[in-house]
């Protein structure tokens, strides 16, 4: 068995479990990374936890386990330490063999999922006629990374853009445009998104203050829902206008998405209400159709209803989500549905999912996950805004990141007295700017809010995209300097001697564990931390004082160290690609 078949940690756990014998088959061996490399690489704490149950000293239990423990292919002879820890140290020969093996593997030792699943990632999902905001940026970046990781694992992933393209706001907007700018409803591209947003604002003002206008807007919604041709045509134009704007952002960020907006589920909404009615869960409350929820109460402490059809016959956001959920389970055959939205929508998801569960629409083998994320804050710690207090346009934000990366690069080139073409400068600035924005977002635990800072995200020091990109480019620099083709280094060359080589080697072998943990808990920041640590380990290995010589070393060390360089670069490239970040050969 090897790393590409079974994860190292799992192998060790199984060996320990086998050593306790069948009676303790269900016991967790409590295998953790060693607290100090002096003690080895892993430490099993099971003897301590079994002590009470067996009424024996933990050291005696540890002794009995070690006597039967067979890990001789992987580890040095196990040692018992302190009150009864079992310390395991990986054998150098084992590490060398593993690295030789992953050198030949394009997946770098990460096994593909044994049972690929159909998974849906519902992410980005901006609203038509409104500007995409930083919350949508987070959803887009996090959702894309999750989708990339699942795709890499071999799952069949459907990336869905649940665009807000339906509902009463269109009645309002269309009614308003009919009055003030009818051309916009018949001519393509008559407005740009900025106009659309400001018309939307004015329409909303009118709607809130003018009862007659409210009535006109309602009629317009009815016309839209009934499929009246002119209204439908106007609606399509408005959607198209927004779509073009969203597309600019998606192209800048290299995002692929299938648009399936709320309107798609419109024909299914009445069926949702009918089926809820049949199930007996539906209650009429002041003319509205609703389901009462458990665990949710209003301000007065009374049970909260989830309204699925308003008294005027209109449907809600939740009704659409119920319809889309059924569609995704029945038609798309999804086994896991992942919703990436801000944490503020937590209740919405908990509520409609509770209803779906109650009616029995969710089969046992389907998993539904809301992946919440925190806010993006300005440097003042308040909600991220422009200086004048407006919402920041994403295009401006991305352009600014690129412009700053461009200026930084120019300064650096001057300092280093380097001449580069305009084309090179633009490309590096684009990659660095976009990566910096993505990485700054992904490297935070998504559930927390973070402060958006161009200076921090573009810094070459610290846990940032430029640091990681630089580590990669530095390794490619080694190959250029030594005129070495990493692809032709030959196999079975790895030879580990120096402490920094061993540390790097062990780290390189952990990629599979990290990826499978992100696959489960959907926290891409773990992958970022791993890549950051890896870059640091590489820099120690390559450090003139602490580390080893590479190009200047004698054979066979030289080739072995070049293989370590290549494996590090390939791991960085693969890992970054799973975060949606492109590498640069030179920067």
- Interacting residues with ligand ARG (CB under 6 A): 122, 125-127, 162, 164, 321, 324, 339, 341
Alpha helices in 181-315 (DSSP H): 193-209, 211-226, 229-253, 269-279
Burial of 288 (0-12, 13-18, 19+ CB in 10 A): middle
Q: Terminus-to-terminus CA distance in the chain, angstroms?
A: 41
Between 29 and 167, name the residue whose CB sits nearer to ligand ARG.
167
Question: Min. distance of Cβ 501 from ligand ARG in angstroms?
Answer: 47
Q: What is the 3-state secondary structure (H, E, C) of 438-483?
A: HHHHHCCCCCCCEECCHHHHCCCCCCCHHHHHHHHHHHHHHHHHCC
Q: What is the DSSP string of 338-368?
A: EEEEEGGGHHHHHHHHHHHHHHT-S-TT-EE
Between 89 and 159, name the residue whose CB sits nearer to ligand ARG.
159
Between 324 and 510, name the residue whose CB sits nearer to ligand ARG.
324
CB-CB contact of 358 with 293 (8 Å):
no
Between 159 and 162, name the residue whose CB sits nearer to ligand ARG.
162
**Cα torsion angle, 269, 273, 279, 283, sign:** positive
Between 309 and 435, name the residue whose CB sits nearer to ligand ARG.
309
Token duo for residue 203:
């329409």
Question: Min. distance of Cβ 147 from ligand ARG in angstroms?
Answer: 14
Question: Min. distance of Cβ 326 from ligand ARG in angstroms?
Answer: 13
* Residue whose structure tokens are 């804050």: 377
Residue nearest to ligand ARG (CB): 125
CB-CB contact of 546 with 534 (8 Å):
no
Question: Min. distance of Cβ 167 from ligand ARG in angstroms?
Answer: 10
Question: Min. distance of Cβ 164 from ligand ARG in angstroms?
Answer: 4
| CA nearest to 432, candidates 579, 582, 252, 249 | 582
Residue 57 preceded by cis peptide, ω within 30: no
Token duo for residue 262:
């709320």
**Cα torsion angle, 298, 304, 307, 311, sign:** negative
Between 124 and 231, name the residue whose CB sits nearer to ligand ARG.
124
Between 200 and 467, name the residue whose CB sits nearer to ligand ARG.
200
Question: Min. distance of Cβ 318 from ligand ARG in angstroms?
Answer: 9
Rounded CA separation 557/561 (Å): 6
Burial of 516 (0-12, 13-18, 19+ CB in 10 A): middle
Question: Min. distance of Cβ 580 from ligand ARG in angstroms?
Answer: 19
Question: Min. distance of Cβ 349 from ligand ARG in angstroms?
Answer: 8
Between 41 and 321, name the residue whose CB sits nearer to ligand ARG.
321
Structure letter (DSSP) for residue 522: -
Question: Min. distance of Cβ 149 from ligand ARG in angstroms?
Answer: 20
CB-CB contact of 508 with 500 (8 Å):
no
The three-point CA angle 482-587-143 to 5° equals 120
Between 85 and 361, name the residue whose CB sits nearer to ligand ARG.
361
Between 122 and 566, name the residue whose CB sits nearer to ligand ARG.
122
Rounded CA separation 444/447 (Å): 8
Question: Min. distance of Cβ 89 from ligand ARG in angstroms?
Answer: 48
Question: Min. distance of Cβ 411 from ligand ARG in angstroms?
Answer: 39
Between 131 and 512, name the residue whose CB sits nearer to ligand ARG.
131
Structure letter (DSSP) for residue 32: E
Between 245 and 321, name the residue whose CB sits nearer to ligand ARG.
321
CB-CB contact of 203 with 173 (8 Å):
yes
Question: Min. distance of Cβ 443 from ligand ARG in angstroms?
Answer: 24
């Amino acid at each position: 068995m090897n790393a590409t078949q079974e994860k190292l940690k799992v192998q060790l756990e199984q060996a320990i479990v086998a050593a306790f014998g069948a009676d303790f088959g269900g016991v967790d061996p409590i295998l953790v990374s060693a607290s100090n490399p002096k003690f080895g690489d892993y430490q099993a704490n099971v003897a301590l936890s079994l002590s009470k149950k067996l009424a024996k000293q933990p050291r005696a239990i540890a002794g009995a386990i070690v006597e039967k423990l067979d890990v001789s292919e992987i580890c040095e002879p196990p040692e018992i330490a302190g009150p009864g820890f079992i310390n395991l140290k990986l054998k150098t020969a084992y590490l060398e063999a593993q690295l030789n093996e992953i050198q030949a593997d394009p997946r770098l030792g990460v096994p593909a999922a044994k049972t690929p699943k159909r998974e849906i990632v519902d992410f980005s999902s901006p609203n038509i006629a409104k500007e995409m905001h930083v919350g949508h940026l987070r959803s887009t970046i996090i959702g894309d990374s999750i989708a990339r990781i699942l795709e890499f694992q071999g799952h069949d992933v459907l990336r869905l853009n649940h665009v807000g393209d339906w509902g009463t706001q269109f009645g309002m907007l269309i009614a308003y445009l009919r009055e003030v700018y009818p051309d916009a409803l018949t001519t393509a591209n008559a407005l740009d998104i900025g106009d659309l947003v400001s018309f939307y604002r004015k329409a909303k003002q009118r709607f809130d203050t003018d009862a007659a206008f409210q009535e006109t807007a309602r009629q317009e919604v009815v016309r839209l829902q009934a499929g009246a041709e002119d209204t439908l045509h106007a609606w399509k134009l408005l959607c198209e206008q927004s779509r073009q704007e969203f597309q600019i952002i998606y192209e800048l960020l290299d995002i692929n998405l299938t648009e399936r907006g709320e309107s798609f589920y419109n024909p299914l909404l009445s069926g949702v209400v009918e089926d809820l009615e049949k199930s007996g869960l539906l209650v009429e409350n002041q003319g509205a159709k609703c389901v009462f929820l458990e665990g949710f109460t209003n301000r007065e402490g009374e049970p909260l209803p989830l309204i699925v059809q308003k008294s005027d016959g209109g449907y809600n956001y939740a009704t659409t989500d119920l319809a889309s959920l059924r569609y995704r389970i029945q038609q798309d055959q999804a086994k896991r549905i992942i919703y990436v939205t801000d944490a503020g929508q937590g209740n919405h998801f908990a509520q409609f999912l509770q209803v779906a569960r109650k009616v029995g629409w969710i089969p046992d083998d389907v998993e539904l996950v809301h992946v919440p994320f925190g806010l993006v804050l300005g440097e003042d710690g308040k909600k991220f805004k422009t200086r004048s207090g407006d919402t920041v346009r994403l295009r401006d934000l991305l352009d600014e990141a690129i412009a700053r990366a461009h200026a930084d690069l120019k300064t650096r080139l001057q300092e280093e007295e380097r001449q580069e073409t305009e084309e090179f400068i633009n490309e590096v600035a684009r990659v660095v700017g976009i990566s910096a924005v993505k990485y700054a977002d992904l490297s935070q635990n998504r559930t927390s809010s973070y402060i958006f800072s161009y200076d921090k995200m573009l810094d070459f020091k610290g846990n940032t995209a430029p640091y990681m990109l630089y580590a990669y480019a530095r390794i490619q620099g080694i190959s250029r300097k030594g005129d070495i083709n990493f692809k032709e280094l030959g196999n079975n060359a790895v030879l580990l001697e120096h402490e920094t080589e061993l540390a790097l080697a062990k780290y390189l072998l952990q990629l599979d564990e990290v990826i499978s943990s992100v696959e489960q808990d959907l926290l891409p920041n773990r992958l970022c931390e791993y890549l950051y640590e890896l870059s640091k380990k590489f820099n120690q290995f390559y450090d003139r004082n602490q580390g080893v010589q590479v190009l200047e070393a004698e054979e066979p060390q030289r080739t072995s160290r070049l293989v370590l360089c290549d494996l590090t670069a390939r791991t960085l490239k693969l890992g970054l690609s799973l975060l949606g970040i492109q590498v640069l050969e030179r920067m």
